[in-house]
Amino acid sequence: MKTSCFMPLGVCISVLLILSSCDKADKAVDLTAERILVEKAIHSCIGWAKTKDINLLYSVIANDSNYLEVDPGNKVVKGFEDFRQSETFWMNPDFKAVRYEISDLKVQFSKSSDVAWFFCMLDDMNEWKGQPANWENTRWTGVLEKRDNKWTMVQMHFSFASDK
């Protein structure tokens, strides 16, 4: 009598289904924890300025040519190198970050949980040569991507409400 060392097809399928469900359980994402990390990255994009911790800012901005930022007016920042051009302004002793406030922050995640987008209102209070240089009632939207297990800002858009 000939014997086979292979499992019956039904057993193989059952084993594969069990292993597949275990793999999905291992990859379950704690969205509450991820939301905290996303919000921390969002705050770092603005909060770094108080102490001029440029390394904190650069740690949460995508360091590639695909980074995109749209500012009020007609300024569009394309890529990390373009973004860095503002460093001379921010690090100038005449620029002083006073405080910022984020309100109505809403964060959503992609189905894969590796992309997040947000909306909030921002008051960014600053001084330039002792004079107010503020962004008040600013709409702020953005997209973050989880790269190397860290949330990274890949796109931001700031605008002022014309109906206020």
**What does the pLDDT look like over 143-160, one tens digit per residue?**
999 999 999 999 999 999
pLDDT at 107 exceeding the cut of 90: yes
Structural domains in the chain, CATH included, are 31-160 (3.10.450.50)
Report the sign of the C-alpha dihedral through residues 74, 159, 67, 90, in that order. positive
- Structure confidence by residue, pLDDT tens digits, 109-146: 999 999 999 999 999 999 999 999 999 999 999 999 99
Share of the chain above pLDDT 70, in %: 82
Mean of all residue pLDDT scores within the chain: 88
Contact 14, 96 (CB under 8 A): no
Report the sign of the C-alpha dihedral through residues 44, 153, 139, 31, in that order. negative
Residue 88 exposed, middle or buried by CB count within 10 Å (0-12, 13-18, 19+)? exposed
pLDDT of res. 23 = 44
Average the pLDDT over each of 11-25, 44-58, 91-105, 142-156 and give the range with the smallest value. Answer: 11-25
Work out the pLDDT band at 74, boundaries 50, 70, 90.
Answer: confident
Other beta carbons within 10 Å of 41? 21
Q: Which residues contact 122 (CB under 8 A, 6 or more apart)?
A: 46, 100, 101, 102, 135, 138, 139, 140, 158
pTM value is 0.81
